[in-house]
Amino acid sequence: MNLTISGQITGLATIPKTCIAKHAPLSIIMNKPILIIDDDRPVRRTLRLLLESHAFDCKEADDGLEGLTLLDAFLWT
């Protein structure tokens, strides 16, 4: 699922093809974990810290394989 933030993080989030409404309040997605996958550690860390400062729960992965492993572990817990 792709997630596009409209305006500030405290604004509305657009969730393409997964929601009947065009915009959903962030409170709907705030309790869902975010998996950040990027091979650049400073970029991952910066994004994670930014999102966590707005009460999002984040996990980091260095590459796609690690991301799939984390996702698989999350889905089966």
Q: Provide the pLDDT for residue 77.
A: 67
Q: Provide the pLDDT for residue 26.
A: 65
On the question of pLDDT at 76 being above 60, the answer is yes
Q: Provide the pLDDT for residue 49.
A: 94
Q: Are 8 and 18 in contact (CB under 8 A)?
A: no
Does the pTM exceed 0.85? no
* Single-letter residue type at 71: L
User: What's the pLDDT tens digit per position in 9-35?
Assistant: 444 455 455 544 566 666 666 677 899
Token readout for 76 is: 């089966």
Q: Are 49 and 32 in contact (CB under 8 A)?
A: no
Residue 60 parent element (H or E): strand 58-61
User: What's the pLDDT tens digit per position in 41-75?
Assistant: 999 999 999 999 988 889 999 999 999 999 888 87
Q: Which spans in 1-76 are helix H? A: 26-29, 41-52, 64-75
